[in-house]
Amino acid sequence: MADWISFGSEALRAAVNPQGAELSSLIDGDGAELMTNADPAYWTGRAPILFPIVGALAGGCYRLDGRDYALGKHGFARHSTFEVVGVDDDRATFRLEASDATRESYPFDFALTVDFRVDGATLHITTTLANPGDRDMPASFGYHPAFAWPLPYGGTKTEHQMVFDIAEPGAISALSSDGLIAGERASPLDGPVLPLRDDLFIDDALIWSPVESRGLTYGVEGRPHLRIDWEAPELGVWTKPGAAYICVEPWWGKADPAGFAGEIWDKPGIMRLAPGERREFRMSVTLTQ
């Protein structure tokens, strides 16, 4: 097991596991943990990187040029060991490149570089996806960080809330029992406010597709809280009822619609990267007093 790489500031320290380039700890200046306790009774993930797909595929596979390729939910990056390409007092950078193993399920050259940087009380995460190959490459990408619920600043779980930048009046996506997009359901938002409670997640994640906000605050009113910013077109919020974490997941992609049987190029949420093209995906987390 690879050692976690630690870095940060007096106000905020991060630790990343090279296995999956997974943000595994985020502590404040007093040593209080802001992320999941990874209780195996619920989920041992902490902040997996979702690539080259987000969510589940219909039948567990995608189609390319008339051939089926099996690929598990959220792709293989979260199970892959990233190379540590740079470490400093306030940042660390990790890279995953195509290999014989990845080409079995994803026959494309790629370079996925994840850069973490702490500036004061803010963690910035920038991921760069490059296509060094000689043909177009299909891809989706997502972040999946799990924050402590409740946060270590007092207040019960049900006193916690998320406040989106703007009201999101539209319906949210519904998921089937096998994790596929299956129609819509009513949004639980009250204007821009999402009051948090376990029973919201009985039917899996809350998915805004699209999401118009570019950020939200999470915590208890009047107490230290987290400000989470993103540039993504989709957003998932998820936990397992009873767990001590809640995920805020900016996505550039999404699960297959139920019954989808088209080629990967027709899959909703798939990006097409031309040879030599690069794309960046950003999010940040700020501890606000």
Neighbouring C-beta atoms of residue 101, cutoff 10 Å: 10
Rounded mean pLDDT, 190-218? 97
289 — pLDDT class (breaks 50, 70, 90): confident
pLDDT of res. 42: 98
Distance of alpha carbon 283 from alpha carbon 123, whole angstroms: 9
Domains defined along the chain, listed by start: 5-288 (2.70.98.10)
Residues in Cβ contact with 48 at an 8 Å cutoff, skipping those fewer than 6 apart: 20, 22, 74, 77, 78, 144
pLDDT surpasses 80 at 128:
yes
Mean pLDDT of the chain: 97
Q: Label residue 169 exposed, middle or buried (CB < 10 Å: 0-12, 13-18, 19+).
A: exposed
Provide the percentage of residues in the chain whose pLDDT is more than 90: 99
Q: What is the pLDDT of residues 230-262, one digit of tens each?
A: 999 999 999 999 999 999 999 999 999 999 999
Has residue 72 got a pLDDT over 60?
yes
Cis peptide before 210 (omega within 30 of 0): yes
Please tell me the predicted confidence (pLDDT) of residue 74: 98
Tell me: pLDDT of 46 over 90.
yes
Mean pLDDT of 249-278: 97
Question: pLDDT tens, 80-119?
Answer: 999 999 999 999 999 999 999 999 999 999 999 999 999 9
Q: What are phi and psi of 218, to 5 degrees?
A: -135, 125
Say if residue 1's pLDDT is above 60: no
Q: In terms of C-beta density within 10 A (0-12 exposed, 13-18 middle, 19 or more buried), how is residue 31 classed? A: exposed
Sheet containing 22-28: which strands, arranged edge to edge?
5-8, 12-17, 22-28
- Both tokens of residue 253? 């992609």
- Residues whose CB falls within 8 Å of the CB of residue 257, separated by 6 or more in sequence, listed in order: 58, 180, 181, 182, 268
CA atoms within 13 A of residue 261's CA, in its CB half-sphere: 1
150-195 pLDDT tens trace = 999 999 999 999 999 999 999 999 999 999 999 999 999 999 999 9
Q: Which residues contact 59 (CB under 8 A, 6 or more apart)?
A: none
CA-nearest of 185, 197, 189 to 167 is: 189
